[in-house]
A = this chain, B = another copy of it.
Amino acid sequence: MSRPPLPPRVTVVEVGPRDGLQNETVQVSTATKIAFVEALAAAGLPVVEIAAFVNPARVPQMADAIDVARGIAKQPGTRYTALVPNLRGLAAAYDAGMTEIAIVVAASETFSQRNINQTVDASLTAYASVVHDARAEGMRVRGYLSTAFGCPFEGDVPQARVVELTERLLSMGVFEVAVSDTIGVATPGEVADMVEAMSARVPVGAIALHLHDTRGTALANVLAALEAGVSTFDASAGGLGGCPFAPGAAGNLSTEDLIYMLQGLGIETGVDLDAVVRASRLIAASIGHPLPSRYLKAVSGSDPR
């Protein structure tokens, strides 16, 4: 039996400073956030999502997004990106010197309406202006497609809907869609099926996977996606972020666990695993609880901080 070839190189998108931190209740200082981002870039992570330019009343952890963005000593080889929910956020990101942003559209209608009080179609229309204006300023735009493998309210989300929304995001001008398992329910067959269905319609190089490890399946899903040709994966240092729907449970796939597996598979990432562990320890000291990364715990003994 022949095994599917795997991509020789993978791009890991580090989302800890944004998707990780915004789910943490302890307010982290601006200086610590900057040191965290700088440590992640120094570890060789090629893309770091540093903040969200959102309403500080809704997400207090991101209130200092401009200061974080301006405070980072940027490395030439690293891409820095930030989440932007609307034109006001885009303006703030632009003022802060960002050259890349990300937008989020939900695949589930109920999730969209409960989360941002907009239908999916209305959010796509609103984002069309954001993408247009951002690109007019020379910025690159990444799209997240959330709840692509399941919704906490609706349950299953139809694959055809996810494929259609991915096409619409790409046709709007995003360079890549991070297909997101927001609640961590996906299993490898679903991931392989989804990537195959998408690959029939869009270039596989435009597909990234944003996986959560809530039920322990994230790395198995990465393996299935690698076998289907995907070569861009999101991850969060230490597994920072938890799961907003189940306190104490795991959320984002841990960067360390991902890099450990990719190294074992002989896949190049350019990332120094020990340096990621140091970045995780730096942020763990500020958030008041152990981080869920299995690898981090294995190398840290009983206290992953």
Contacts and interface: CB of A to CB of B under 8 A. Distances in A.
Given A217-B264, A295-B215, A301 B246 contact: yes
A130 interface: no
Nearest to A293: B216
Contacts of A249: 294, 297-298, 300-301
A192 B250 contact: no
A265 B260 CA distance: 24
B217 A260 contact: yes
Contacts of A301: 246-249
Given A257-B216, A304-B248, A265 B188 contact: yes
A294 B250 contact: yes
A224 interface: yes
Nearest to A2: B4
A257 B218 CA distance: 11
A157 to B, nearest CB: 15
Q: How many copies does the complex hold?
A: 2
A114 B243 CA distance: 41
A220 to B, nearest CB: 4
Contacts of A261: 187-188, 215-217, 220
A266 B213 CA distance: 20
Given A1-B228, A264-B189, A257 B298 contact: no
A38 interface: no
A214 interface: yes
Given A188-B264, A215-B295, A216-B295, 16 more contacts: A1-B229, A187-B264, A189-B265, A189-B266, A190-B264, A214-B298, A215-B294, A215-B298, A216-B254, A217-B260, A220-B220, A220-B223, A243-B298, A246-B297, A246-B298, A249-B294
A184 interface: yes
A247 B197 CA distance: 43
A58 interface: no
A221 B135 CA distance: 42
Contact of A213 (B224, B227, B265, B294): B294
A88 B222 CA distance: 47
18 contacts: A1-B229, A3-B227, A184-B298, A188-B223, A188-B265, A215-B260, A215-B298, A216-B219, A216-B293, A217-B219, A220-B222, A220-B223, A223-B224, A248-B290, A248-B300, A248-B302, A249-B300, A250-B294
A303 interface: yes
Interface in A209-261: 213-217, 219-220, 222-224, 227-229, 243, 246-250, 254, 257, 260-261
